[in-house]
Amino acid sequence: MSNSAAAEPRREQTASTRGKFPQRLLSILSALVVLWLSACWFLFFNPAVDEPVAADAIVVLGGASHERLPIGHELYGAGYAPVIALSHTSSPGNARADSACTGQRSEAVVCFVPPQMSTRGEAREIARLAADRGWDQLLVVTSSYHVARAELNISQCTTADVVMVPSTPDFGPAEWLGRFVEESVALAASYVRPACATPLVQ
């Protein structure tokens, strides 16, 4: 057998191996995407939360106040806490909560302005309020996609017990996908760079 004839099977085998590599890579990437979407479903779309309990305060985080504020009012009306604390951000998405913070308001309503207009800023201010007012148990209302990151940031800043209460956004598939990407990145960043170096002790 000539050298060229012997080399032919090797070339075919090499070509076959090269042809399988993109298929294997595509399979791996597809599996990773499926795993990520599954994680997003449980973390952001349908997060596991505890049932609401009696608390010292109900905290409604800023943004999407058309969906979050009614949940806060329901909890307050049901007697879960004597105080409802609203994040006052002066932003379009927080118009309903901001309106409740302007003018005359009930003594049961506490409004706070985060030092930075972010979840991290809210976590720091909530920790300060809890320490100043002796709040040991908090119910925190936010959108379902925001629950994981908000709970992590707040727990990084306070030793108060926190129970998250999710509101349900009216999103289409594209909006949910965008939130999945945004929250995945932000949640990972919160582990790498905590909102607070040490939590404030109640």
Over residues 130-146, the mean pLDDT reads 97
- Specify the pLDDT at position 19: 60
Structural domain boundaries of the chain?
1-46, 57-192
pTM: 0.84
Over residues 154-165, the mean pLDDT reads 97
Give the three-class secondary structure for 54: coil
| Residue 96, CA atoms < 13 Å, CB-side half-sphere | 13
- Specify the pLDDT at position 198: 83
118/102 Cα distance (integer angstroms): 21
Tens-digit pLDDT profile for residues 168-201: 999 999 999 999 999 999 999 999 999 998 887 6
Tens-digit pLDDT profile for residues 3-40: 555 555 555 555 555 567 677 878 788 888 899 999 99
Phi, psi of 109 (to 5 degrees): -100, 120
Give yes or no for residue 72 having a pLDDT over 90.
Answer: yes
Please give the class, per CATH, of domain 57-192.
alpha beta
